[in-house]
Amino acid sequence: AQSVTQLGSHVSVSEGALVLLRCNYSSSVPPYLFWYVQYPNQGLQLLLKYTSAATLVKGINGFEAEFKKSETSFHLTKPSAHMSDAAEYFCAVSPSGSARQLTFGSGTQLTVLP
């Protein structure tokens, strides 16, 4: 069985500051990892995904994430926060890569302060 832990249900950063959202996973097999973003009262949208091709993954809107097997982590970063980045972010894991087997974390609400 796999699981995902997102450290920090709420994160606040100033506009222009580094964004770091933490995600740790457990999986009995090499995992496939994903970050999704949800804007208020909307569905989720895929930001990026790790599928074992490269440990540093670049996504949309300037976000990237690094897969670290030794730390079982897949933290999401962005060098400079923008007001439009305010949203909820979900980390997810799938043992096979299939959408059916996705397990989502509980989410991190990102607030960007002016």
Partner 1 sequence: DGGITQSPKYLFRKEGQNVTLSCEQNLNHDAMYWYRQDPGQGLRLIYYSQIVNDFQKGDIAEGYSVSREKKESFPLTVTSAQKNPTAFYLCASSIAGAGVTGELFFGEGSRLTVL
Residues engaged in binding partner 1 (CB under 8 A): 9, 32, 34, 36, 41-46, 49, 51, 90, 92, 94, 96-100, 102, 104-107
CA distance 67 to 55: 5
Q: Give whichever of 73 and 94 is closer to partner 1, judged by the CB atom.
A: 94
Closer to partner 1 at the Cβ: 43 or 114? 43
d(CA 36, CA 22): 13
Kindly tell me which of 12 and 45 has the beta carbon lying closer to partner 1: 45
Q: In whole angstroms, how close is the CB of 48 to partner 1 at the nearest point? A: 10
Nearest CA among 82, 87, 88, 85 for reference residue 104: 88
CB of 80 to partner 1, least distance (A): 26
Dist CA 46 CA 59 (whole Å): 9
Instruction: In angstroms, give the least distance from the CB of 90 to partner 1.
Output: 6
Q: What is the dihedral of CA 35, 14, 73, 34, to 10 degrees?
A: 0
Q: Which is nearer to partner 1, 28 or 114 (CB)?
A: 28
Beta-carbon contacts of residue 83 (< 8 Å; ≥ 6 apart): 15, 112, 114
